[in-house]
Amino acid sequence: MPIIVHKYGGTSVGNPEKIKNVARRVKKVMEAGNEVVVVVSAMGHTTDELIDLMHKVTSNPDPREYDMLVSTGEQVSAALLAMALQAMGCPAISLTGGQAGVVTEDIYRKARIKEIKLDRIKKELKDGKAVVITGFQGIDSKGDIITIGRGGSDTSAVALAAALKADVCDIYTDVDGVYTTDPRIVPEARKLKYISYEEMLELASLGAQVLHPRSVECASIYNMVIHLRSSSKEDEGTYIMSAARIAKEAGKMEKQEAVRGIALDENIAKIGILHVPDRPGTAARLFGALAKEKVNVDMIVQSIHSQGTLADMAFTVERADLKRAVEVTERIAGELKAEKVVSDSDVSKVSLVGVGMVSQPGTASKMFETLAFEKINIQMITTSEIKISCVVKAEQGKQAVRALHKAFGLDKVA
């Protein structure tokens, strides 16, 4: 029997009516003669609400208890969906990540999935049940509940689809596909029919929240097609697949557009360490200390003073890590005899993504001109072969996205 894996995000299971709607869809797919596994996220903003609750109890949560708490949201939606299915006469069972055999690394809050032991899922499918599995969680070697990072239900679904050898992983959400940029920011954004793993991974990592970056990484490893689509319509959405397969399906020999999409990351903060003595080992010391504290550093810029003996360094971190990152940086700045440490959480990062960029010069200069015309100051720049990112003042982030979307004609490309 063909196996179908569906994932429904928070908004799509946001209330009892929506849960019943998902149940109707699942029932239909079962009745068409398929085995069905459904991965669900927590209802609506439940995970955020649980985190707010946590902050009312402590400012320094224990990571194990954090996972115990935030993993509960998915259990609620899984159980309710299984009950809604049963109420419609469709046999169903809900399973936690652990019950479903999702084994993770022994790291709280953002573990990777190590393996999926399929025995239980297979048994339930064989018994003719729809299997509803909590996204975002698994179990570690001690038997503790582990979460896999915010937005991680997408990754749970893709990993399950790969383990079960499904042909495609259907991810149902509140938009009907991947757009050239967040349609909430630019209403003229255009829906993409296909996007390659490479470009989607960049967009997701650079802040396009529509897919968890690791779900794209996992899909590319297993060559699993992700079909991202709307939970309220039946229409086709966007296929995320290998560039080779897209070329075959779309019948295009070469890519044309330099820029395929624009991402905005509003969840960053900037730290500067000023007048650091410019000698070997400085960067190693600072970033080594940050890595030890598990602070992920993103953009790094170093500038040299005219005297040549001092340098300034600036880098970005996730906003949630800012306090910890500043503490570490101040400690190292003291040891290195740097002049001072400054920080700013009032920034966001705007990025252009496209594999065609590499062969089309002028993308960066057009980006800078567009921002200059909008009187948007660029605070930091980084580039790679398929992306250009600029850090700007937070309040100008959306304006930058709108201007760039227009300047690169993303609303028009066929």
Element of type H or E holding 310: strand 310-318
356 binds, among Mg ion, ligand ADP, ligand ASP, none (CB under 5 to 8 A by kind): none
Binding map of Mg ion across residues 116-155, x = CB under 5 A, - = no contact: -----------------------------------x----
Whichever of 175 and 317 has its CB closer to ligand ADP, that residue is 175
- Residues 198 and 113: their CA atoms lie apart, in Å, by 21
User: 306-320 burial, b for 16+ CB within 10 Å, e for fewer?
Assistant: eeeebbbbbbbbebe
Q: Enumerate residues 27-46 that contact ligand ASP by CB under 6 A.
A: 41-42
- Of ligand ASP, ligand ADP, Mg ion, none, which one does residue 184 interact with (CB within 5 to 8 Å by kind)? ligand ADP
Token pair of 184 as six digits: 């909430």
State phi, psi for 392 to the nearest 5 degrees.
-130, 175
What does 150 bind: Mg ion, ligand ASP, ligand ADP, none (CB cut-off 5 to 8 Å by kind)?
ligand ASP
Pick what 208 binds: ligand ASP, ligand ADP, Mg ion, none; C-beta below 5 to 8 Å, kind-dependent. ligand ADP
User: Which of 12, 75, 94, 153 contacts ligand ASP by CB under 6 A?
Assistant: 153
194-196 and 145-147: which strand pairing?
A: unpaired
With CB atoms as reference, the residue minimizing the distance to ligand ADP is 9
Residues that bind ligand ADP (CB under 6 A): 9-12, 41, 151, 173-175, 178-179, 181-184, 208-210, 261
Q: Does 11 bind ligand ASP (CB under 6 A)?
A: no
The β-bridge relationship of strands 297-304 and 310-318 is antiparallel
Measured from the CB atom, is 239 or 287 closer to ligand ADP? 239
CB-nearer residue toward Mg ion: 9 or 101:
9
Which residue, 72 or 86, is less far from ligand ADP as judged by CB? 72
Provide the minimum distance between the beta carbon of 111 and ligand ADP in the complex, in angstroms, as a whole number.
Answer: 19
The helix-helix angle for 46-57 and 63-70 (nearest 10°) equals 140
How is residue 308 written in tokens? 């040549």
Q: Which is nearer to ligand ASP, 173 or 389 (CB)?
A: 173
Residue at token pair 């495609």: 168
- Residue 146: helix, strand or coil by DSSP? strand
Q: Which stretch binds ligand ASP (CB under 6 A): 12-20, 144-152, 167-175, 404-412?
A: 144-152
Phi, psi of 14 (to 5 degrees): -70, -20
Which region holds residue 214: left if phi is over 0, alpha if psi is between -120 and 50, else beta?
alpha
Check: CB of residue 313 under 8 Å from CB of residue 272.
yes
Amino acid 65 reads E
| Closer residue to Mg ion, CB minimum distance, 73 or 151 | 151
Q: Give the separation between CA 44 and CA 51, rounded to whole angstroms.
A: 14
Q: Which stretch binds ligand ASP (CB under 6 A): 25-33, 147-155, 263-271, 316-324?
A: 147-155
Q: Which residues bind ligand ASP (CB under 6 A)?
A: 9-10, 41-42, 47, 73, 135-136, 150-153
